[in-house]
Chains A and B, each alone.
Chain A
Amino acid sequence: MLKDYLPREIYNLIIKNFSFADINEIRMRANENLIIVVKNKKYYLKDDSGNYIKPSTMIIENFIRKISENSIYAFNDNIKNGFITLPKGIRVGICGTVVMEGSKVITIKDFQSVNIRIPHSVRNCSLTAFEYLVDDEIKNTLIISSPGNGKTTFLRDFVYQLFAHNISKNILVADERSEICSVVNGKPAIDLGGFCDIFTNCTKEYAFKNGIRSMRPDVIVTDEIDLDLDLNAILEAINSGVAVIATIHAKDLSQLKKKKNFNRVIEEKFFSRFVVLSGDEGPGTLTGIFDENLDCVYCR
């Protein structure tokens, strides 16, 4: 897949030195060493003479032109949000100079670095937690981990397990940044089973509001909620009798507690399960499952 986009010499060096199936990230920063992240460990890419590979600004700009199929204008909404999703769920984060008009982001130009994140479907990674999250009903659940520690992978597998266990539910996936299903040209690149309706590239508020009206979901699944912006939409869903499974960035519960509005989450009992993941034994290590009072129901 990346063969079509990366410069040939860089691609050849990567496949020569690493197994593509193990790579989590490829980081290119202008004129800095190219970094390959394999199983959460960083490696610098070197050529055959042992010199570090340092991609130039031109290489990064050409890479972005290629992934946008020479049509930056068609991807500008994604670029403004700082990423482009490629087929097979590969997500390219983009950094550069942000062009603003007042408080509105117009575009990003002078690209300086890209982070290519390669998703890995880890089947059954949510199975241990599954029985704690589903009994007679699917519990409102918040999945917590720091970036890159398997929240989205867990979420994808959990949705798949609902299908695999034939828990016949209508699942609405509110995939704001096309990260859960990696929809490209209207087709999801990741198999979440057959129970999913997907809203992609829209705000959570829109997906929740319109999804509840039009798709009659039993569960809404969403990624990376913001306790400042998304709580009302979540509350609306919960009060409509729709279960919500969401993820959030935080290292652990103590860090989550420091977030704005977390007290409201606990007081109003938005979620009855908190799943904490860490990278202790590789990404997606299940550290604990907590109930609505933050008492541990499963501790490693």
Chain B
Amino acid sequence: MKWLLIIVLISIIMLIAHSVSEQYKDKYDFILNLKLFLQQFKINVAFRKEKINEFISKIKPKRQFSLFLSEYQNYLSTGSINLDSIKLLDEEDKEELMDIITNLGKFDAQNEISQLDNFLASLEFKLSKAKEDKLKLCPMILKLSLLFAIGLAVLLI
């Protein structure tokens, strides 16, 4: 019984650690998806010139990014937006995202592309930060949690 409890406790700790580390991965994936979205959109603006709605409807997003796209489509139809459902973003990220959302599609192709280049440049910095967090913090959280769990188990034994 005692061993079973120890195993359950270690599992719970590791599960929590895993979900915390996943957030860093999700954030990295989200920013990477956003970057790819803007790059594809830039190509669209330069060549195909599909309207934003048509362009978005052809994208098959994953996980949190699908929330962003559905919020964006909602903004296009109603003019209002709420990014609270995207939990992994902090306030600063949300402000930047709002800036992107409210400014896309406002200009002729030439200026739109310049604007997209600016967004992409600022995203590049965020992406490298998120990548660094993902590579450093994810294994560290898992390792520390494992150590903590083992320590707790030793104490309990």
Interface on A for B, CB 8 Å cutoff? 65, 68-74, 76, 79, 99, 106-107
CA distance A79 to B111 in the complex (A): 14
* Least CB separation from B51: chain A residue: A71
With a CB–CB cut-off of 8 A, which chain A residues contact B111? Answer: 107
With a CB–CB cut-off of 8 A, which chain A residues contact B84? Answer: none
B52 near A: Cβ within 8 Å? yes
Q: By the criterion CB–CB under 8 Å, are B76 and A76 in contact?
A: no
| Contact status of A106 and B110, CB under 8 A, knowing A70-B76, A70-B105, A72-B105 | yes
B109 near A: Cβ within 8 Å? yes
Q: By the criterion CB–CB under 8 Å, are B108 and A73 in contact?
A: yes
CA distance A193 to B126 in the complex (A): 57
With a CB–CB cut-off of 8 A, which chain B residues contact A107? Answer: 107-108, 111
B80 near A: Cβ within 8 Å? no
Q: How large is the interface on B (under 10, 10 to 19, 20 to 34, 35 or more residues)?
A: 10 to 19
Per CB-CB distance, the 10 closest pairs between chain A and chain B, nearest first, are: A107-B108, A71-B51, A70-B105, A76-B108, A73-B109, A73-B112, A71-B105, A69-B51, A74-B49, A71-B52
CA distance A18 to B119 in the complex (A): 46
In the assembled complex, 27 residue pairs joining A and B whose CB atoms fall closer than 8 Å, in A order, are A68-B51, A68-B105, A69-B51, A69-B52, A69-B76, A69-B105, A70-B104, A70-B106, A71-B50, A71-B52, A71-B105, A72-B105, A72-B106, A72-B107, A72-B112, A73-B49, A73-B105, A73-B107, A73-B108, A73-B109, A73-B112, A74-B50, A74-B51, A76-B108, A79-B108, A106-B108, A107-B107
CA distance A107 to B53 in the complex (A): 22
With a CB–CB cut-off of 8 A, which chain B residues contact A73? Answer: 45, 49, 105, 107-109, 112
Q: Given known contacts A70-B106, A72-B107, A106-B108, what 15 new A-B pairs fall within 8 Å (CB)?
A: A65-B106, A68-B51, A69-B105, A70-B51, A70-B53, A71-B51, A71-B53, A73-B45, A73-B107, A73-B109, A73-B112, A76-B108, A76-B109, A79-B108, A107-B107
Bitwise, B42-79 to A at CB < 8 A (1) or not (0) is 00010001111100000000000000000000001000
CA distance A68 to B106 in the complex (A): 9
With a CB–CB cut-off of 8 A, which chain B residues contact A70? Answer: 51-53, 76, 104-106
CB distance from A85 to the nearest CB of B (A): 14
